[in-house]
């Protein structure tokens, strides 16, 4: 659906990174995820074996973490008890099998359906009074929405209807205000989207009735 990074601009991107989880790696208990990093052929021999990322701890102090490395590089194999939790090879194998099975046209179909489902979801949600698009720009299968009320209670109400409503962006990006990130993939049906929109509409209309 998009040009590959190597064809962006006049010379193409030198380095591209992304998330491979959607490629046949089902989520369970918050993971697993696996990132990928690629570059032009001329830069391959300069690719680092490890990348250090800077972050902050719970006390606000600066900290550093290895973000591109295998834990097995830093533990004694003879005494290791947690190698299985960092088995990048398993994730890559799963993604390789998935991509080989669906093929080029299958990947295009998955991407197209994901975008179409997200467009349907956003169209339905933004028709509700009190919900608007956060950014007027192109999107794929994730969209930030602006609500006229705090996001957490809305997500809690949706959860009461067995609906995972999205991700509350407010704590992470307070400058955005009451922002909700929603997403729809190819696994969602029209009925799923209609159920979500109907539940959200009921939540917003209930408050309106109460205020009146």
Q: Which residue has the higher pLDDT, 26 or 66?
A: 26
Q: Across residues 14-37, what is the average pLDDT?
A: 85
What's the chain's average pLDDT?
87
Candidates 18, 10, 200; CA nearest to 123 is 200
Cα–Cα distance, 148 to 204 (Å, whole number): 9
Q: Helix 151-159 crosses helix 190-211 at what angle (to 10 degrees)? A: 120
pLDDT at residue 71, as a whole number: 55
What is the reported pLDDT for 105? 94
Average of pLDDT values for 177-181? 97
Task: Place 5 in a pLDDT band, splitting at 50, 70 and 90.
Answer: very high
- Could you tell me the pTM of the whole model? 0.76
- In this prediction, residue 45 carries a pLDDT of 87
Closest CA to 13 of 46, 53, 51, 42: 42
- Boundaries of every domain in the chain: 6-105, 107-211
Cα–Cα dist 149/170, whole Å: 11
Ranges 54-68, 164-178, 183-197: which has the least confidence: 54-68
pLDDT of residue 78: 57
Quickly tell me which residue has 């003879």 as its tokens: 78
Q: 16: burial class by Cβ within 10 Å (0-12, 13-18, 19+)?
A: middle
Cβ atoms of residues 24 and 95 within 8 Å: yes
- Please compute the mean of the pLDDT values over residues 175-182 and round it to a whole number: 96
Does pLDDT of 211 surpass 70? no
What distance in Å separates the CA atoms of residue 77 and residue 62, rounded to the nearest whole number? 30
Domain 107-211 matching CATH 3.90.1150.10: the answer reads yes
Place of tokens 């052929």: 41
Q: What is the largest CA-CA distance in the chain?
A: 68
Q: What is the mean pLDDT of residues 59-80?
A: 69
Residue 81 has pLDDT above 70, yes or no: no
Residue 79 pLDDT level (bands cut at 50, 70, 90): low
The pLDDT of 200-205, averaged and rounded, is 93
Band (pLDDT 50/70/90 cuts) for residue 32 is confident
pLDDT value of position 198: 96
> Where are the alpha helices (H) located in 24-178, listed in sequence order?
88-126, 151-159
128 φ/ψ sector (left φ>0, alpha ψ -120 to 50, else beta): beta
What phi, psi does 210 have (nearest 5°)?
-65, -40
The pLDDT value recorded for residue 58 is 87
Q: What is the pLDDT of residues 119-176, one digit of tens each?
A: 999 999 999 999 999 999 889 999 999 999 999 999 999 999 999 999 999 999 999 9
């Amino acid at each position: 659906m998009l040009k590959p990074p190597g064809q962006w601009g006049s010379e193409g991107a030198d380095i591209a990174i992304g998330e491979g989880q959607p490629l046949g790696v089902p989520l369970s208990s918050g993971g697993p995820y696996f990132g990928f990093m690629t570059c032009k052929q001329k830069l391959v021999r300069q690719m680092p074996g490890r990348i250090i990322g800077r972050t902050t701890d719970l006390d606000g102090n600066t900290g550093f973490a290895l973000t591109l490395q295998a834990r097995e590089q830093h533990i004694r194999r003879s005494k290791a008890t947690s190698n299985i939790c960092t088995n990048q090879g398993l994730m890559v194998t799963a993604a390789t099998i998935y991509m080989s099975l669906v093929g080029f046209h299958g990947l295009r179909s998955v991407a197209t359906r994901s975008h179409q489902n997200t467009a349907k979801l956003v169209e339905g949600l933004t028709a509700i009074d009190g919900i608007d698009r956060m950014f007027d720009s192109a999107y794929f299968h994730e969209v930030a929405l602006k609500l006229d009320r705090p996001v957490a209670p809305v997500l809690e109400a949706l959860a009461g209807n067995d609906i995972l409503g999205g991700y509350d962006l407010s704590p992470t990006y307070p400058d955005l205000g009451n922002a909700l990130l929603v997403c729809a993939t190819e696994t969602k049906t029209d009925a799923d989207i209609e159920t979500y929109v109907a539940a959200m509409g009921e939540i917003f209309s209930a408050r309106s009735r109460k205020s009146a």
